[in-house]
């Protein structure tokens, strides 16, 4: 696509939208402007290509396509079959998987498809059939208890939230925590690293149906060969949620023991984050679970989103190009450069560094909560998110950590020099911010004090840092 074609495409789209609801068109244009000016360090965000974005705005959005390729509940889905097949083909080739299911709307949906596929494969029970026809919102805690008992009180063992795990790995506020009797494995309190011997001990004691690996805030590699051995030792299904690091697997930065696909029974992922595609999910598995996974709609999902599957096909095709491997390696190089820059300036990092795309700063060393640090950085043009650290005394709302990641800035072209400058800006803000007090004079976990002049100065430096690396340089909205 030529630069003029990209500008024409997006300008024309906004013009059409503005003719119906100009405020929506203005918000879309403002979002592009905001993203161009912000130093985006949210580890779960990225910038999809213009081709991927444009693939979502078309007539596929008008189609219902429940079912799977060749077995739809609606007629007239031949073109949907084409894009779904292409997305699945690219996913299989990219990750070396036997089977790919590209319908999930999100990572949570992908996990639910995987959970129910494993249950349906491993457990024969009338409770499963009832669960599919009853309204989930009508089930009481007693109903869920009875359902778990009828399913054999199935168990899940996954990484704890404060160690970097995800809400969908069996925690009570999420549906996974109502489906399973869940227990967590944490990290070594001294190093912050996974202790595989302790995971094995927990598995032997708990005997889970599903052992889950994967993370949203763990800055190191996971040895999936060892985790599979642990799962096999207790007869568990081994599932990996690689939503955060799928791009590093696709780009062959994570190989051998650190590539989950050859070792896991089933793998789930999002298609955005480090994979740089549209917001959506995907499931990879072997032939033994393929039939159950393909029942994701209507078992768990509603109608698939054909326009998003089209965008997945485009993004996965992009990820198969040789330059994506270089991009994936630069993500890790940048994260390590950012970590090194922070460490040299005295910041405390969980595990003392990173092997992947993210860095977790323990901001208690600055006398701040995660919430205070997050907002102070945002005031200064640096977009991050607060995050728990292991054994976090401030809980999951205020937290003691800030999670930062490099996929988005790497997409823009920033390198090691800019990562060191970014570390300086982060340290400047955090070291100049102090905890505030509430109306009663008591210490606050949310309020903070930062000299507006410091925020303004850092914000200008952050904007200047981005000038040589324009976002969507071929898109000129006029």
- Helix (DSSP H) and strand (DSSP E) numbers for the chain: 20, 16
CA dist 251 to 104, 145, 274, Å? 22, 43, 10
The span from the CA of 447 to the CA of 438, in Å, is 7
SS3 231: helix
Peptide bond into 298 cis (omega under 30): yes
In the chain, what is the straight-line distance between the N-terminal and C-terminal CA atoms, in Å? 19
CB 378 within 8 A of CB 426: no
Long-range contacts of 188-193 (CB under 8 A, 24+ apart): 189/390, 189/391, 191/351, 191/352, 192/163, 192/350, 192/351, 192/352, 192/390, 193/220, 193/351
Q: Is the dihedral of CA 364, 430, 416, 324 positive or negative?
A: positive
Structure tokens at 70: 């060749």
Residues 6+ apart with CB under 8 A from 27: none
Residues 6+ apart with CB under 8 A from 467: none
> Which DSSP symbol is given to 294?
T
How many CA atoms lie less than 13 Å away from 443 in the CB half-sphere? 7
The span from the CA of 205 to the CA of 365, in Å, is 37
From the list 467, 132, 119, the residue with the least C-alpha distance to 299 is 132
CB 458 within 8 A of CB 381: yes
Strand partners, 270: 281
CB 290 within 8 A of CB 100: no
> Which DSSP symbol is given to 218?
-
Structure tokens at 400: 């003691």
CA dist 338 to 272, 350, 367, 382, 459, Å? 22, 14, 21, 14, 18
CB 410 within 8 A of CB 334: yes
CB 331 within 8 A of CB 339: no
- What positions carry a catalytic annotation? 64, 66, 241, 270, 273, 279
CB 260 within 8 A of CB 238: no
């Amino acid at each position: 696509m030529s630069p003029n074609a990209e500008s024409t495409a997006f300008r024309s789209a906004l013009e059409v939208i503005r003719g119906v609801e100009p405020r929506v068109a203005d918000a879309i244009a403002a979002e592009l402007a905001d993203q161009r000016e912000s130093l985006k360090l949210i580890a779960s965000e990225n910038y999809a290509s213009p081709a991927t974005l444009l693939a979502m705005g078309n007539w596929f959005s008008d189609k219902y396509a429940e079912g799977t390729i060749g077995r739809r509940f609606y007629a007239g889905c031949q073109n949907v079959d084409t894009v779904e097949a292409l997305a699945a083909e690219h996913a299989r080739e990219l990750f070396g998987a036997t089977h790919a299911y590209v319908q999930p709307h999100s990572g949570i949906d992908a996990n639910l498809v995987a959970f129910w596929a494993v249950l349906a494969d491993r457990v024969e029970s009338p409770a499963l059939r009832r669960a599919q026809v009853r309204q989930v919102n009508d089930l009481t805690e007693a109903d869920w208890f009875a359902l778990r008992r009828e399913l054999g009180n199935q168990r899940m063992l996954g990484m704890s939230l404060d160690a970097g795990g995800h809400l969908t790995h069996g925690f009570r506020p999420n549906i996974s925590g109502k489906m399973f009797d869940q227990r967590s494995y944490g990290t070594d309190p001294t190093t912050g690293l996974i202790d595989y011997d302790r995971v094995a001990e927990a598995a032997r004691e708990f005997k889970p149906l599903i052992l889950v690996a994967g993370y949203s805030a763990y800055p190191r590699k996971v040895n999936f060969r060892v985790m599979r051995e642990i799962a096999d030792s207790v007869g568990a299904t081994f599932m990996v949620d690689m939503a955060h690091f799928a791009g590093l697997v696709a780009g062959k930065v994570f190989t051998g023991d650190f590539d989950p696909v050859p070792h896991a029974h089933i793998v789930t992922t999002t298609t955005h984050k480090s994979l740089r595609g549209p917001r959506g999910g995907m499931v990879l598995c072997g032939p033994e679970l393929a039939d159950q996974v393909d029942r994701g709609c209507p078992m768990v999902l509603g109608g698939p989103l054909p326009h998003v599957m089209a965008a997945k096909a485009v993004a996965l095709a992009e990820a198969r190009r040789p330059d994506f491997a270089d991009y994936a390696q630069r993500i890790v190089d940048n994260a390590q450069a950012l970590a090194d820059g922070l460490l040299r300036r005295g910041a405390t990092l969980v595990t003392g560094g990173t092997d992947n795309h993210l860095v977790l700063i323990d901001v208690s060393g600055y006398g701040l909560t995660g919430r205070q640090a997050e907002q102070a950085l945002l005031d200064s043009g640096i977009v991050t998110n607060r995050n728990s650290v292991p054994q976090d005394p401030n809980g999951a709302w205020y937290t003691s950590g800030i999670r930062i990641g490099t996929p988005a800035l790497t997409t823009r072209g920033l390198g090691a020099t800019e990562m060191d400058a970014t570390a300086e800006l982060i340290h400047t803000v955090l070291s100049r911010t102090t905890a505030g007090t509430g109306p009663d004079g008591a210490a606050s976990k949310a309020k903070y004090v930062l000299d507006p002049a410091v925020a303004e100065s850092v914000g200008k430096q952050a904007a200047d840092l981005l000038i040589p690396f324009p976002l969507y340089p071929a898109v000129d909205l006029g």
